[in-house]
């Protein structure tokens, strides 16, 4: 192959890659430099033909500037995507952070019509704000059926715990995205809902038969395909009944035979991030990219090494291992997807009054409060929060979770994943109450299924801690933000009449609504003087 032909092939291959980029404008602001390329690297790779970026971090206003900057470094229209499954504000400050989808899955059991309406508005709000920020591809809906309460990574991200709810609500969300003019993505094919390990850290195994997959895992994907979903994201998990050797992302049996031929999907197939341990711990960047494309993927998301991935793919096409006709097909699918959506970003504010009203309405329908009001007293506001996004973003020194209890006499103590352990090591009295001080304890738990946590939160002995506080008559109330499964497990030890509140969402609006209900006579909160260990 001559040099000119080689350069042409390399540019075409590079177009298949979607690289991780910080949403911030400068290198110094990168939160995850091990995954987020520097500006000089991004500029070089985009000029060499790379076709897109997945973004995280910064404000919604800065994101709009960032997408313009990145597109200015390329000579083509780029795919700009983000994991904004819960609204653009989940990842970018200043936009709307909406309640997790599972909240609507549970609402659907009580009021199906309302849940469908809210899901469609949810999708439209997410899509419109994405476009205002320069994004053209929303990596959602999650089509996994979270029928396993022990799932450490999907959990509240799913739209349902049964295939009917997950299908109906995911399709309603997609309708909203289409109205907004952005691409959608059904993930994680063929279903990550019934796993007990996190593919960010390990390679899960889904041992089910094809018959079982047809009953539980596949219906939401079939529904999304029938609704015209633009793309499908693969799952890094092994299905021995379909392919005992390779995970779905690298399996021709799953991506070509099942998804393409049997389910009739003709849109873009994109890998989940290849930098995840389920793939990167077993394959080099070049071989992972080749195996994924060989299996049937069109787009290569977040390879561990972009240059190595491009080199590996070019070698595969040059040697004949990979089909150049397939390359043409993938590039045409990419071009068709971009051609189907508007090129202009809508004007106006990123967050509208209607968006704000939707945020509040979603919270209102996804909280529960039972028992008596919390008595104002000199006590302890004990807050447990993940050190990882998105939970950490929910808590700052002015958050209602701190400020409202403080107006009622409770001194805030915040415990996070990297801080001093609150545990005494005693099975019968696990919470080190002597370190916390005197007074009743209002316990607030910001815990949900989060990637990279490996289910560690589920191992914390909060049930025993609650029993300890009840025995000492020191439990003022309990608030859970996030996982409904945590609430289910703690209900068994909560005394009758104890003030208990649950919110699927962890954002400021959710905190305000919950704590206003628990402290009905609370004055507007002032500045916080929280102590963080």
Contact 395, 383 (CB under 8 A): yes
* Active-site annotation holds for 272: yes
Exposed, middle or buried, 212 (CB in 10 Å: 0-12/13-18/19+)? middle
What tokens appear for 180 in the block?
């907004």
* Active-site annotation holds for 236: no
Contact 431, 469 (CB under 8 A): yes
- Give the residue from 139, 164, 140 showing the smallest Cα distance to 220: 164
Between vectors from CA 249 to CA 231 and to CA 253, what angle results, nearest 5°? 95
Q: Give residue 360's Cα distance to chain centre.
A: 20
Task: Give first-to-last CA distance, the chain, whole Å.
Answer: 62
- Around Cβ 370, how many Cβ atoms within 10 Å? 13
Contact 331, 300 (CB under 8 A): no
Which residue(s) pair with 52 in the sheet? 18, 79
Between vectors from CA 18 to CA 12 and to CA 23, what angle results, nearest 5°? 135
Choosing from 200, 208, 236, 416, which is the catalytic residue?
A: 200
Residue the block writes with tokens 């992302």 = 249
| CA atoms of 317 and 464, how far apart (whole Å) | 59
Q: Where are the beta strands (DSSP E) in 151-271?
A: 185-189, 231-234, 268-270
Choosing from 194, 198, 272, 298, which is the catalytic residue?
A: 272
- Give the residue from 308, 242, 322, 239 showing the smallest Cα distance to 275: 308
- How does 374-393 read in b/e, with b if 16+ C-beta sit within 10 Å? beeeebbbbbbbbeebbbeb
Preceding amide of 283 cis, omega within 30: no
Q: How many helices (H) and strands (E) does the chain have?
A: 19, 15
Strand 367-370 relative to strand 500-503: parallel, antiparallel, unpaired?
Answer: antiparallel
Q: Any idea which residues carry the catalytic annotation?
A: 200, 272
């Amino acid at each position: 192959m001559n040099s000119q032909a080689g350069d042409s092939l390399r540019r075409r291959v590079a177009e298949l890659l979607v690289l991780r980029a910080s949403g911030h404008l400068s290198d110094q602001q990168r939160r995850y430099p091990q995954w987020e390329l520097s500006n000089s690297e991004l500029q070089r790779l985009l000029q060499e033909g790379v076709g897109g970026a997945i973004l995280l971090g910064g404000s919604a206003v800065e994101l709009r500037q960032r997408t313009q900057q990145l597109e200015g470094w390329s000579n083509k229209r780029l795919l700009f995507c983000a994991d904004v499954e819960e609204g653009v504000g989940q990842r970018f400050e200043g936009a709307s952070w909406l309640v997790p989808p599972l909240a609507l899955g549970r609402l659907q059991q009580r009021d199906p019509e309302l849940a469908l309406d809210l899901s469609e508005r949810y999708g439209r709000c997410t899509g419109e704000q994405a476009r205002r920020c320069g994004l053209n591809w929303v990596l959602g809906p999650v089509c996994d059926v979270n029928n396993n309460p022990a799932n450490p990574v999907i959990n509240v991200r799913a739209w349902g715990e049964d295939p009917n709810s997950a299908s109906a609500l995911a399709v309603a969300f997609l309708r909203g995205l289409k109205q907004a003019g952005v691409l959608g993505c059904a993930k994680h094919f063929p279903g990550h809902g019934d796993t007990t390990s996190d593919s960010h850290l390990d390679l899960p195994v889904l041992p089910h038969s094809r018959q079982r997959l047809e009953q539980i895992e596949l219906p939401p994907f079939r529904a999304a395909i029938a609704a015209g979903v633009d793309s499908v994201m693969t799952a890094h998990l092994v299905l021995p009944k379909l392919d005992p050797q390779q995970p779905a992302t690298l399996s021709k049996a799953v991506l070509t035979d099942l998804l393409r031929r049997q389910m009739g999907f003709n849109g873009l197939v994109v890998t989940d991030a290849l930098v995840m341990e389920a793939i990167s711990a077993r394959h080099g960047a070049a071989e992972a990219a080749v195996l994924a494309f060989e299996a049937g993927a069109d787009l290569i998301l977040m390879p561990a090494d972009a240059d190595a991935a491009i080199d590996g793919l070019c070698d595969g096409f040059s040697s004949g291992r990979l089909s150049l006709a397939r390359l043409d097909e993938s590039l045409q699918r990419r071009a068709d997807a971009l051609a189907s959506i508007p090129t202009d970003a809508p004007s106006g504010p990123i967050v509208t009054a209607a968006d704000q009203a939707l945020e509040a309405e979603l919270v209102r329908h996804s909280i529960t409060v039972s028992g008596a009001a919390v008595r104002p007293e000199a006590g302890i506001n004990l807050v447990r929060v993940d050190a990882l996004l998105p939970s950490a973003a929910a808590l700052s020194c002015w958050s209602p979770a701190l400020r409202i209890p403080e107006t009622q006499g409770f001194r805030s103590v915040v415990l996070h994943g990297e801080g001093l352990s609150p545990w005494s090591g005693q099975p019968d009295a696990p919470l080190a109450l002597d370190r916390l001080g005197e007074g009743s304890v209002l316990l607030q738990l910001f815990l949900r299924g989060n990637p990279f946590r490996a289910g560690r939160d589920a191992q914390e002995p909060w049930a025993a801690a609650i029993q300890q506080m009840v025995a000492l008559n020191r439990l003022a109330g309990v608030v859970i933000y996030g996982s409904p499964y945590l609430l289910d497990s703690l209900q068994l030890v909560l005394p009758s009449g104890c003030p208990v509140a649950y919110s699927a969402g962890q954002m400021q609006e959710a905190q305000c609504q919950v704590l206003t209900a628990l402290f009905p006579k609370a004055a507007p909160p002032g500045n916080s003087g929280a102590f963080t260990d």
